[in-house]
């Protein structure tokens, strides 16, 4: 059954649960949805159809493969690239590896181990990132929610928020405002003194140049 593509980033950022023998229907729906989008998609993870299970489907040399609980056990040949995602708009930068060794389970939940290279290896890495909750949008600036405790470095130090520092900041702000007001008063007094003079040359407005006299860029 073809399912709707999930585009909720909060859901995509969640780490997938391990797949079990009760999930073959989800795998078949994932494969059907991938084939339905074959013109613009070469791989999908189960969370892309709204199921938070560790299942991926992808194209491999003209054929489609299903993997339950895939894990990369070895990788080599790092390189940088840009990838698109059916759940997100645009492309995003990513670090991939030319060769990966993957351990997974087939539909009978028999453990398999195989090495993939090139384009197929990149597809597998992208889909496993989905399973890990590594949303591709985090590379473009939209970060998934943090897990675990917040480190002490991210918390403001007490000295920065002490009453003395706050009062000092207020004093500085008040001093700047007072200085600005004094300058404004001085300028106002100068303008009034200038305009009070009767001489024609003191406050005579300058003539504006006609538009024709201006240089065109």
Catalytic residues: 127
CA-to-CA dists, residue 172 to 132, 165, 168, angstroms: 49, 11, 6
Count other Cβ atoms within 10 Å, centred on residue 41.
20
Which among 95, 124, 92, 129 has a CA at the least distance from the CA of 13? 129
Strands (E), 23-124: 43-45, 55-60, 63-85, 88-105, 111-117
Question: How far apart, in whole angstroms, are the C-alpha atoms of residue 105 and residue 216?
Answer: 72
Question: How far apart, in whole angstroms, are the C-alpha atoms of residue 38 and residue 43?
Answer: 9
Q: Is 172 helix (H, G, I), strand (E, B) or coil?
A: helix
Which ranges constitute the DSSP H helices of 20-140?
A: 24-36, 118-131
Question: How far apart, in whole angstroms, are the C-alpha atoms of residue 35 and residue 63?
Answer: 11
Radius of gyration of the chain (CA): 32
């Amino acid at each position: 059954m073809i399912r709707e593509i999930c585009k909720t980033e909060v859901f995509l950022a969640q780490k997938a649960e391990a797949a079990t023998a009760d999930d073959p229907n989800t795998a078949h729906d994932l494969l059907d949805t991938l084939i339905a989008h074959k013109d613009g998609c070469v791989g999908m993870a189960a969370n892309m159809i709204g199921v938070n299970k560790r299942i991926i489907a992808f194209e491999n040399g003209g054929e489609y493969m299903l993997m339950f609980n895939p894990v990369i056990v070895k990788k080599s040949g790092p390189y940088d690239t840009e990838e698109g995602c059916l759940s997100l708009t645009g492309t995003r930068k990513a670090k991939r590896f030319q060769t990966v060794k993957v351990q997974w389970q087939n539909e009978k939940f028999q453990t398999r181990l195989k090495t993939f290279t090139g384009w197929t290896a990149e597809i597998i890495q992208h889909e496993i990132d989905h399973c890990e909750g590594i949303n591709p949008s985090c590379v473009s600036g939209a970060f998934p929610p943090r897990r675990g405790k917040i480190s002490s470095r991210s918390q403001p130090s007490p000295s920065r928020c002490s009453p003395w520092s706050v009062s000092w900041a207020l004093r500085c702000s008040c001093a700047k405002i007072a200085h600005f007001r004094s300058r404004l008063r001085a300028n106002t007094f100068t303008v009034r003194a200038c305009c009070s003079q009767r001489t024609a040359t003191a406050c005579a407005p300058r003539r504006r140049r006609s538009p024709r006299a201006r240089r065109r860029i």
